[in-house]
Structure 1
Amino acid sequence: MSPPSASVSIHVSAPPAVVYALVTDITDMSAWNVECLSAEWVGRIREARPGARFRGHNSRGRRHWSTVCTVTAADPGRVFAYHVRAAGLLDVALWRFGITPTRTGCHVEQGTWDTRGPFMRVVGGLVTGVRDRAAHNEANMRRTLEGIKRVVERA
């Protein structure tokens, strides 16, 4: 796989299983994810496993949009990844959480790969108001990982 468009990591003083449980509970993403207002499972699979789908509702200021995501990897305590599409059809991005155990908890890395074509780059910029998606994602991922750290370390 190519290098991510944006990637951020953080050390968390919690076991990998705790972090994995948090990032795969998509119905509670808004507690720690910066842009996500809410998410719900779509279809008959309602757990983190490859092929499961969920709809994410996002916002940035007064702008709101939804995407449909398909889980591509779900390795408990290690990896959670999903493919994002606009309107369930148009490529947007791949997102991945990698979790590596350490002596004092775990290292969490969040990465994203921009998979938009030229049309979706223009439309996405208009819908979200973001021109530099990589820089925007990196700043938001930093805040998101700090949110994950806050939630799991206080538990």
Structure 2
Amino acid sequence: MSPPSASVSVHVSAPPAVVYGLVTDIADMGEWNVECRRADWVGRVREARPGARFRGRNSNGWRHWSTLCTVTAADPGRVFAYHVRAAGLLDVALWRFGITPTEAGCHVEQSTWDTRGPLMRVVGGLVTGVRDRAAHNEANMRRTLEGLKRVAERRP
């Protein structure tokens, strides 16, 4: 796989299982995620496992949009990844949370790969109000991981 278009990491003073539980609890993702306001499972599978789908509801200022995501990896305490599509069929991105245990908690890396074609880059920029998606994602990912860290570290 090619290098990610954006990647950010943080140390979290919480067990990997707690962090994994947060990143896979998509119903509460909006509590710590900057751009995704909420998400809901779609279909019969309502847990993080490959093939499960969820709809993400996102916003940037006054702009709002939704995406359809398919889980591609779900390794408890280690990896949660998903493929994002617009309108259920147009490639948008791959997202991945990698969790590595440390002596004092875990290291969390959030990465994304922009998979949009030229037309989707233009349309996506108009819909989301973001021209430079990689820079925007990197800034949001920093804030998102700080939010994840804050929530994870106050969990028992």
Unaligned runs of 5+ in 1: none
Query: What is the one-letter code of the residue matched to 1:125?
Result: G
Name the CA distance, whole Å, in 2 between partners of 1:21 and 1:64. Answer: 26
Q: Aligned residue for 1:13? A: 13
How far the C-alpha of 1:17 sits from its partner, in A, is 0.4
**Matched residue type, 1:113:** W
Secondary structure of the residue aligned to 1:27 is helix
Q: Report the Cα distance in structure 1 between the residues aligned to 2:25 and 2:38, rounded to whole angstroms.
A: 11
Query: Which position in structure 2 is the counterpart of 1:54?
Result: 54
Is residue 83 of structure 2 the alignment partner of residue 95 of structure 1? Answer: no
Alignment of 1:71-90 (within 5 A): 71-90=71-90
Shift of 1:123: 0.2
RMSD (Å) for aligned C-alpha atoms: 0.4
Show the counterpart of 1:33. 33
2:153 corresponding residue in structure 1: 153
Offset at residue 38 of structure 1 (A) = 1.0
* Structure 2 stretches lacking a partner, 5+ long: none
Aligned-pair CA distance for 1:141? 0.2
Q: Residue in 2 aligned with 1:115?
A: 115
* TM-score, structure 2 normalization: 0.99
Looking at structure 1, the residues matched to 97 and 45 of structure 2 have their Cα atoms a distance apart, in angstroms, of 20
The amino acid across from 2:115 in the alignment is: T
Alignment of 1:128-143 (within 5 A): 128-143=128-143
Amino acid at match of 2:151: V
Taking the aligned partners of 1:95 and 1:120, their CA distance within structure 2 comes to 17
